[in-house]
Structure 1
Amino acid sequence: MAQIIADLHCRVHNHKHIKLNADFCCKAGQVLAVVGPSGGGKTTLLRMVAGLSHPNAGHIQFGDTPWFDDKAGIALSPQQRHIGFMPQHFGLFPHLTALENVVAGLDHLPKAERIARAKSWLERVNLQGLPDRLPAH
């Protein structure tokens, strides 16, 4: 599968459950950090970008492809977006190392490519020295 390079544009508003207003653009190749206090909506925002939940209003667009648009009635599934995220704690396999946890999320790649790609991702988030570390440590 060829890698598609594109900008991500996100403007979402949520007023139920967790109140959230976010408006940002992440340029292709740029690293974006989502930071804030506990309960501030970081995971909710990432779930919306991944398509695991939907905001009350707004749009999320990757390149020329709208992933979510409340006015146009567009809400692509997570499978159609080909994106995922690794939560800080929840969702990690406690018995797997950092490298093994990342490899577990790469089942869409041929087996021969997974370890190299996982190491690359660990390096991109400055965890290259911790591939054998368990989540609890």
Structure 2
Amino acid sequence: MSEVKVDGRRAAVRPWHVFAFGSVLAVGALVERVQGFRAGRQYVLCHASATLDHLTLLALGLVAGALLVGIVGAAAETVRGKASRPAFLVACMVAALAFVVAADRVDAGAEERAVRMAGESFTEGACDYAPQVYSATPGWFSW
């Protein structure tokens, strides 16, 4: 069990805290993105964009990374079995948060790109047969 002093008292940082923190962040970010497909801002694009697809997959990968950091961090500390400094557990929690923030920033960049692409003029016959609809998935950390 790792301990850290908070207001002169000892507060234990346990592996399950890391797991819970990473899991809650990742699941919250995933729910936010799935709901974004239904309720987010939508942009109709003249041409399909592989870049937007890649950015969406990157953001989802970063969310998965937050979950993975929570699981691996908790498992590594549990397997280790002995008490250690809280630095590793706190670093895992910070890393999980950083992954979710990065995912939100990637999504914000993708939305900016979709805005630029949607602003391009439509000319009859120049667009793809079935235009792509991009649904923005704004995150908590999209400032």
Q: TM-score w.r.t. structure 2 length? A: 0.21
Larger strand fraction of residues:
1
Larger radius of gyration: 2
Higher RCO structure (Cα 8 Å, ≥6 apart):
2
Larger helix fraction of residues:
2
